[in-house]
Structure 1
Amino acid sequence: MNALIASSHEAGFLPLTEIGGKASNLAWLSDNAFPVPAWSVLTVSAFRQQLRSEGIDAWIEQCIARIDSKDPASVADAASRIQDRILAMPLDAEIRVAIADVIAGREGVRFAVRSSVVDEDGDAASFAGQMDSQLYCLGQEAIEKAVLVVMASAFNERALIYRLHRGVSLEHIQAAVILQEMVDSDVAGVMFTAHPVTGSRRHALISGTWGCGEGIVSGLCVADEFTVELDGSTIDSTIQEKDTYLVMHDGGHGTVEREVEERRRLQPVLTTEQIIALRDLGKQVANLKRFPQDIEWALKDGELYLLQTRPVTSLPANTSVKAHPLVWDNSNIQESYCGVTTPLTFSFAQRAYTTVYTQTLRVLGVREEVIEAHRGMLENMLAFVRGRIYYNINNWYRGLLFLPSFSTNKEDLERMMGLQDPVDMIQDQTLTFIEKLKRLPQLLRALIRMLSGFRKMPLMVADFRQHFENTYQDFDRSTLHTRSPGELIRLARHLDKVLLDNWTTPIINDFYVMMSNGKLHRFLVKAGISDPGIIQNNLLSGEAEIESTEPTKMLLGMCDYLRERPSLRRLVVNGDNQDMLKRLRHADPNFHALCQEYIERYGDRVMGELKLESITLRQDPGFMFSVLRNFLSRDDLTLEALNNRESALRHETENTIFPQVEAALGRRQRRKFENVLQQCRSAIKHRENMRLARTRTFALYRDIFIEIGNQLAFYGNLDAPRDIFWLTVDELYAWNDGRAVQTDWKPLVAARQAEYQGYHDEEPPHHFITHDVPYLHNEYRYPHEQTIDEDASTLRGIGCYPGVVEGNIRLIFSPDDELNLNGQILCTVRTDPGWAPLFPTAGGLLVERGSTLSHSAVVARELGIPAVVGVPGLTAILKDGEAVRMDGAAGTIHRCASELSGEADDAA
């Protein structure tokens, strides 16, 4: 084998470093018997020998080294000087002989002379169009001159700038030169086996023009385009008016531009048969390469030729993929996991949902093999996008298929979860009679067990709460520091079994809430009650002994104690939160004991209470004293006043609506309506009461994980104790079991912290749809997005409790914000049960996210506070201190022209 030149067959045995990318790909095409015009390649050894022949190789490296990548002029200067030197050289004698051997016996055959740079046509950089090609070269002299031009073009300005832009080294540039028989084509062009515009990997894009393909590559000629399915027959053609084309120059060397005859200007350059044949060739290349290809082709006298192939180096997002649409929504769950959430919290919540809903299917009588078949659904009830937790709505709807009356349950679920954007991609199954018979036993089992659970709910709730209380009392927080990390993980797994594996009662009750609430709504609509949503809210207000309001009531009772002791009250009002608990121990042991009792009972009920990373009153009791100070600013805010306020609207609405239902539907239906109402009230009460158990369960796990973090930081596995929140539960369990795939956690934590830092500066929409992989080529946009009008005079949401309030807005997003409301209107993005102690001093409540059954709405009704939830763009539009007039019945907020002074005047 000649070291300076290789035939197409010989080239297949040479390394890429010797023949460059383009020749390597040509050798592959030839070896696989694709129709490639005959060719040979002058090797990189020939290129180096040419530069050494007059000793300019070292000089070129010096010129390259002096290039300033930030100075385009220095690139242009170096390129010009290097090319001039190369073109001024005679071609090495041995190379001339090698060329003569190639063209011997091929008189009249014209050649294309092209570069094949070592870095060219690779996976990362194609160098397409960066080096020169010489076409229609005839005879020894023309080919020799073309070889020098191509060698010099490896150093042209375009190629050097391309290298700098793509991060390819400028040092030791190596090039081979291809000599290929020229196809004097009738039609030529380029084919991408993956669509470069849509990104579809199932469609090829073929561009073709009359004459030589250089017309497309150079951009001189207009081309027809054909989008064709790789595995189908559909062709989408774009036929252009082709006014010019390139053909061989009359003088023989190079190309010349000619006008296209009028009859061919709008004629497609390819027939359907030719498009399919070309598509099939391209598909064969891509399938063998197992990678999308960029292929140059030519057609002569009905014969197709492949001139080169290279991997596609970039594709846009695949806009044609509409498979696997997934709907994500956090209208409801954002109450529990507000804002950016850490990996530990998400992984814990995801495991908990999987465990609990697996149990629920068992309770409904679903067979084990069916449960296993739906494992993918059960393990993906939740999603994690940009640090926020979302519901996978597709899987929630699929879960409803296990119950009878899918459409009714779907509507009820959407109402309970506050889904503003219901979707229909999961629909009830249309079954044959035989299929219905097969499914009937499962549906009957589910219905019977669910109805039985509804009837036994008071007893089930009592048993659930007692079981939790027993487990909770057995948990000794004070001795966690004495346990090893392995023992702590085993303790967490023990809680998995005794608590999470016995969590079906809250879920069955959630179904009870969903169905009874939906049934109640349909009753009101059937009775012709105007504004049924508002009336339903009013009827559900004023329920006594709801745990979510108990922390507030206990704090109000503590305020009554302080009001009877002026000096103690002054200490709480004027003192520093940081050392208040210590001062109270000496100032009033009885009140100190009350504070400690509150912390023990409700110390985990804080803003973001289900986020394991949240700081609770156990770590910082300051929030409790801020709320007490808030309450003490209102002497009219007492426990007695609150109790009297709770039931007034409820009784007034009952006295109005019960007779209307009876008049419309009859006495029997009225009794049924009252029974459904009582069921709904009871279910909501049970839900709110069991939520405290959920909060305290999370608190037990929080304490375990915090202690693991303390010890891992102590032993140097983490930089800080709270770095534990950047790991996942699965990673901790695997670490304990010997299944960990990474044990050096510090860089992992640092990487996650860096990624999540950017998430705090954005607010993804509450609802969006993704296709294929959620994290790839998807924009998280609200499909019904409307531009927020920051100058809007009136905003609209869902009215949850009536009352007209005029007052100034107080924007609060976290416990670190100013919490003193004193009659101002509390305005925020979302709430959870931990916000409840702030509500009594608010003149009204405005929440950007939420529904009529969301926690903020439930508590507002219990406390008798005018409230509007689900107001799009609320916190982006209203400014802190701005004056508004809100109507809790109509769900409207009117922006006042000027700021109000003093306390809000509740005109309700």
Structure 2
Amino acid sequence: MDSVSLDPERDAGEAELIIDLSRPSPAALDAVGGKALNLGLLTTADFPVPPGFCLTTAGYRKAAPAEIDALAAQLDGRGSLDGARGLRDGAPGLTDADRNELARRGRELMAAAPVPPEVEAALRGAYAAMGGGPVAVRSSATAEDLPFASFAGQQDSFMDVSGADAVVAAVRQCWASLWTDRAVAYRTANGISHRGVGLAVVVQRMVQAATAGVLFTANPVTGTRTETVIDASSGPGQAVVSGAVNPDHFVLETASGRVLRQPPGRPPGLSGKQLRELASRGAAAQRLLGAPQDLEWVIDRAGKAWLTQSRPITTLYPLPDDDPFTGQTAADGGASGDARIYLCGTLLQGLTRPITPMGLSVLALMRGDSGPWNYVNPGLRMYVELTPLIRNKNGRKALLKTLPLADGRSAAVLPVLLADPRFSIISRSRHKAGGTGRTPRATTQSKRAGAAQSLGQFSALLPPMVRALLWPERELRRVQRYQDRLAATLVLPLPAYAATRLQHAEDLLASSINGLIQATLPAPSVGYLTLAAARRLLRGTAKPRELEAVLRGLPHNVTTMMDLELWQLAVSLGGDPEARRAFTELPPAELASRYHRGELPAPAQAGLRQFLSTYGHRAVAEIDLGMPRWFEEPDHILGMISNYLRVDDPEQAPDRQFTRASEHAEARISELVARAGARSRLRARLVSVCLRRTRQLAGLRELPKFCIVMVLAEMHRQLTAVGVELVKNGTIDDAGDVFFLDFTELRIGLRGADLKGIVSRRRRLYTSELRRRHIPRLLLSDGTDVEAAAGPGLSAGDQLTGTPASAGTASGKVRVIMDPVGAHLEPGEILVAPSTDPGWTPLFMTAGALVMEMGGVISHGAVVAREYGIPAVVGVAEATTRLRDGQDITVDGAAGTVRW
């Protein structure tokens, strides 16, 4: 059978077949794979590694039949119209069953392929040179033990292999294991090309183990970089790795070797000296390899410890001091300096996904660098430092009061931080004497200047707030005029060069944000202040949660108006047979493609164009400048129309539900005014004025963000046009690459610099972070996920508990949605999501209830749920994993429970 090289630029016939692990200069990754590369580095650095050799990927490539290349191309989606997507999600149209069938064929091809004579001869010769005897034969794939994907356990390894014939047979089995279902699925999930992967094989002398196990140089559960975790069991290490035994579990403080946790109630299987030696070896391996490591180790019968494997721990969340743009990790692993604590601000905004580098850069420019807060961006997410607040008496009081409103789960673990001596309160005298010594005087002065500036900006809001209180209708008209003026200022006269577009985008940011806040924030602020005043006036007369109903069906909310207009568009299209057929039969992506070609049925084409003229600047995760806007990719909106067309119960129609919510709010106001009147006519009058102002103005709370997103959308449009020019110049590969750069880098690119390498590194990091499911809400500077370190939350066997967010009870079937784009939600289903932002709200219109993993009572999803009148529970740990599609549950928004 003919053989083929999967890398046409490499001549496999000239490549080296055998490389000794002790060779002073380690071979390249694509020749020996991740496992062998790391073992070679450890060996040449004099770590105790069992002797052995590597059969390089050249052997696999010589043996691979020609059909393997075609099969891999199918899995990659090559030749399709969307090859890039194919690498990320698998070939378009391939189901899991299709992928598994291709994997099966790949295994069969490799298992049946003969070992080329020269490969077999080299393998037998190297084995004989070792002296024969029992060896370990282990797969070492090129897409293995990478910083972003470990591939742990995806390919096969064989222990205690004796004899040359058995070694050759084991090598063939290792080659075939490159095509196991799990390995193919893992590569697909991690966006790794199946055509580019190869497999080397490590052959090492077997160590007769008295004790063996695994070691993590950082705590894989909590993320703490200053701890070493060791699992150990008597006998070979495979038992620990495979989970066949319950190992002894140890946690050590790495720097001191102090044992923090060990098996209770029985003598430990490792002595303190052995534990410290292993921890020291692990720390040294981490320093050599440049990242926290997951090591396998063996202690032989003579008591000597050997390292048999080392791979990076790929699941750790990045440290706050890691550079999000280069991917470089903090030099000290977060182990030095004063402990610091950070809160994830993007989670509070309803975002679990990472933010593009340009998006982070723009958010930083919007904040400025003179404010009182310190921000970091680990994992391409925005975190704000809370250390000064926690170490200040008044700051603690403020956190204890406000954090439960923003995120109940973070508030639940706050006491753990307050009790931590590393975050003890700093007295005023100590602070004056120098505090922690971390903040330079210039920085402190800058932050004080920023605080003074913020106070000045707040003072400027007071006159318009008074106007809004006294003349609300006039304020509503003024706000609308401002919105119209803002839209006019965004327009760039054409024609325009790329440099002009870039400058216009940057100028928009600098010129509009402050004025925008001054124009749009006063009115909604008054709306919520009058609600607070009414709550105070009704103290002893009404429970605080009774006032939630006043916020239902609020007028003047641009997001609600958007959702209702989308519903009306769906209603109109439902009356057109051709449009209804298109929206009920075609997927959103095909509908979007037809819209861009002008081929939707006429009512749909015109109606969608009109809707997008007003709301096309919005997006899912819209605070990220890099996210596609609906005017570019309307798939989400088209999917929502399809969902709305499934509503066949008139009582579930969103407009009717909104009307009922408004009527309920008015009825509640009348009831509360009557109750206040029982105490005094003046109190009744004041309560009435306050609640009427709330109804008139609180709905404008979405307007500041709506206008900010208008600015971001125009910046996005201009930067995309810049990207088109840079593609023509050969500076980048795709127009969307501009969102993985910043303004300074784009200027350099316009002068002809090649930015492809920078973009490629950042896209790889971004793609890796997109796959991350768990985001630490509270993160310490040493990498500790505070919630994980505090232990599991309280949940009964048939109940999950969270924060009550919107009163009411609803029963229905679960629909878990991780991304609203293309989501399908039947009317009355319970929406279960990690978090939400305004891009999710069209789903709220037909949801029976909302369950979110993130958030508190003032988070976006909670506020919108109250306004729409649907029960909601937020801050529910593991909701998207514990609940499953189709499961019948009951959501009690007042008790904060989800039962089944």
When the two structures are superposed, what TM-score results if normalisation uses the length of structure 1? 0.53
Distance (Å, rounded) in 2 between the aligned partners of 1:693 and 1:670: 36
Match of 1:470 in 2: 485
**Structure 1 residues 72, 334: closer, same or farther in 2, change over 3 A?**
farther
Map 1:374-389; keep pairs closer than 5 Å. 375=370, 377=372, 380=374, 382-389=375-382
Larger Cα Rg: Structure 1 or Structure 2? 1
User: Relative CO higher for 1 or 2, CA cutoff 8 Å, sep ≥ 6?
Assistant: 2
Shift of residue 851 of structure 1?
2.5
SS at match of 1:456: helix
Shift of 1:410: 5.8
1:341 matches 2:334: no
Shift of residue 527, structure 1, vs aligned partner: 2.4
The residue that corresponds to 2:570 in the other structure is 559
| Residue equivalent to 2:873 | 868
The alignment partner of 2:898 has SS state of strand
1:881 to 862, 882, 886: 886
Asked whether 1:352 is paired with 2:352, we answer no
Counterpart CA distance in 1 for 2:758 and 2:769 is 17
Matched ranges for 1:149-164 at <5 A:
none
**Structure 1 residue 646 displacement after superposition:** 2.1
Of 653-662 and 835-844, deviating more is 653-662
Instruction: Give CA deviations for 1:280-304 in whole Å, capped at 9, x if unaligned.
Output: xxxxxxxxxxxxxxxxxxxxxxxxx
Q: Are 2:698 and 1:687 aligned?
A: no
Deviating more after overlay: 784-793 vs 640-649: 784-793
| Cα distance in structure 1, aligned partners of 2:732 and 2:519 | 37
Equivalent residues of 1:805, 1:866 under 8 A apart: yes
Compute the displacement of 1:395 (Å).
7.3
RMSD: 4.9
Deviation at 1:463, TM superposition (A): 4.6
Distance in 1 (CA, whole Å) between partners of 2:402 and 2:647 is: 39
Matches within 5 A, 1:160-239: 199=255
Is the aligned partner of 1:595 residue 2:608? yes
User: What residue is the counterpart of 2:406 in the other structure?
Assistant: 417
Of 659, 663, 669, which residue of structure 2 is paired with 1:648?
Answer: 663
CA-CA distance at 1:539 after TM superposition = 2.5
Paired residue type of 2:372: M
* Aligned counterparts of 2:533 and 2:539: Cα–Cα separation in 1: 10
1:808–1:825 CA contact under 8 A, matched in 2: yes
Counterpart amino acid of 1:770? L
Cross-structure match for 1:271: none
Residue 699 of structure 1 deviates from its aligned partner by: 0.8
Amino acid at match of 2:877: P
Match of 2:844 among 828, 839, 843: 839
The correspondence for 1:492, drawn from 505, 510, 515, is 505
Structure 2: how far apart are the matches of 1:731 and 1:465? 37
Deviation, structure 1 residue 655: 4.4
1:528-607 equivalent positions in 2, closer than 5 A: 529-530=542-543, 532=544, 534-575=545-586, 577=588, 578-579=590-591, 581-582=594-595, 589-607=602-620
Matched residue SS, 2:850: strand
Cα distance, 1:675 vs structure 2:
4.6
**For residues 401 and 818 of structure 2, what CA distance do their matches in structure 1 show?**
30
1:718 and 2:728 correspond: no
C-alpha distance in structure 2 between counterparts of 1:892 and 1:197, whole Å: 38
Aligned pairs for 1:697-708 within 5 A = 697-708=711-722
The offset of 1:707, in angstroms, is 1.5
2:805 aligned with 1:800, yes or no? yes
Q: Aligned partners of 2:820 and 2:455: how far apart in 1? A: 48
Out of 327, 333, 340, the residue aligned to residue 325 of structure 1 is 340
Check the 8 A contact 2:534/2:687 in 1, yes or no. Answer: no
**Which has the higher mean CA deviation after the structures are superposed, 681-690 or 545-554?**
681-690
The Cα of 1:599 is off from its aligned counterpart by 1.0
* Deviation for aligned residue 1:344: 1.1
| Alignment correspondent of 2:765 | 755
* C-alpha distance in structure 1 between counterparts of 2:707 and 2:532, whole Å: 28
CA distance in 2, matches of 1:799, 1:584: 46
Query: Does the Cα contact within 8 Å between 1:832 and 1:855 map onto a contact in 2?
Result: yes
Q: 1:728 aligns with which of 742, 765, 771?
A: 742
Seen in structure 2, the aligned counterparts of structure 1 residues 594 and 817 have a Cα distance that, compared at 3 Å, is: closer
State the distance in 1 between where 2:575 and 2:340 align. Answer: 62
Assess, with a 3 A threshold, how the Cα gap between structure 1 residues 442 and 723 changes in structure 2: closer, same or farther.
Answer: closer
1:353 offset after TM fit, Å?
A: 2.1
Check 1:391–1:460 CA distance in 2 against 1; reply closer, same or farther (3 A cut). Answer: farther
Please give the alpha-carbon distance, in whole angstroms, between the structure 2 residues aligned to 1:397 and 1:456: 37
Deviation at 1:824, TM superposition (A): 1.1
Amino acid at match of 1:768: L
Structure 2 stretches lacking a partner, 5+ long: 1-50, 55-125, 133-206, 208-251, 257-272, 278-329, 430-447
Residue in structure 1 matched with residue 179 of structure 2 by the alignment = none
Letter in 2 for 1:595: L
AA in 2 matched with 1:573: T
User: What amino acid does structure 1 have at the position aligned with 2:344?
Assistant: D
| CA shift digits 1:685-727 (9 cap, x unpaired) | 2221232212222111111221222221221111222222221
Task: Report the AA paired with residue 552 of structure 1.
Answer: D
Contact 2:462 2:522 in 1 (8 A): no
Q: Output the CA distance in 2 between the equivalents of 1:517 and 1:876.
A: 40
Distance 1:316 1:620 in 2: 43
Q: Between 678-687 and 610-619, report the one with greater CA deviation.
A: 678-687
Classify 1:870/1:680 alpha carbon distance in 2 versus 1 (closer, same or farther; 3 Å): farther
- Kept in 2: contact 1:197–1:316 (CA 8 A): no
How far off is 1:349 after superposition?
1.2
TM-score w.r.t. structure 2 length? 0.54
Higher mean C-alpha deviation, range 622-631 or range 641-650? 641-650
Is the contact made by 1:331 and 1:417 (CA closer than 8 Å) also made in structure 2? Answer: no
User: Larger deviation: 439-448 or 757-766?
Assistant: 439-448
In percent, how many aligned pairs have the same letter?
Answer: 21
Shift of 1:827: 1.0
Q: Which of 772, 775, 778 in structure 2 is aligned with 1:768? A: 778
Question: How many pairs were matched up?
Answer: 564
Could you list the per-position Cα deviations for residues 402-459 of structure 1 after superposition, in whole angstroms to 9, with x for gaps in the alignment? xxx988876675465346426777999979xxxxxx9999999788655434213456
Inter-partner Cα distance in structure 2 for 1:724 and 1:447 = 35
**1:531-579 deviation digits (Å, cap 9, x = unpaired):** x3x3242232221221111111112222332344344433332345425
Deviations 1:19-74 (A, max 9, x none): xxxxxxxxxxxxxxxxxxxxxxxxxxxxxxxxxxxxxxxxxxxxxxxx85569997
> Distance in 2 between the 1:859 and 1:780 partners?
29
Cα distance per residue 1:149-174 (max 9 Å; x no partner): xxxxxxxxx9xxxxxxxxxxxxxxxx
Displacement of 1:619 in angstroms is: 1.8
Kindly report which structure 2 residues correspond to 1:37-186, keeping only aligned pairs within 5 A, or say none: 68=52
Distance 1:428 1:562, change over 3 A: farther
Give the distance between the partners of 1:564 and 1:464, measured in 2 at CA.
36
Match of 1:206 in 2: none
Cα 1:568/1:837, change in 2 over 3 Å: same
How many angstroms apart in 2 are the aligned matches of 1:443 and 1:703? Answer: 31
- Identify if the C-alpha distance between structure 1 residues 76 and 460 changes in structure 2 by more than 3 Å, giving closer, same or farther: farther
CA contact (8 A) 1:645 1:863 kept: no
CA contact (8 A) 2:578 2:601 kept: no
Query: Relative to structure 1, is the Cα distance of residues 544 and 318 closer, same or farther in structure 2, using a 3 angstrom cutoff?
Result: closer
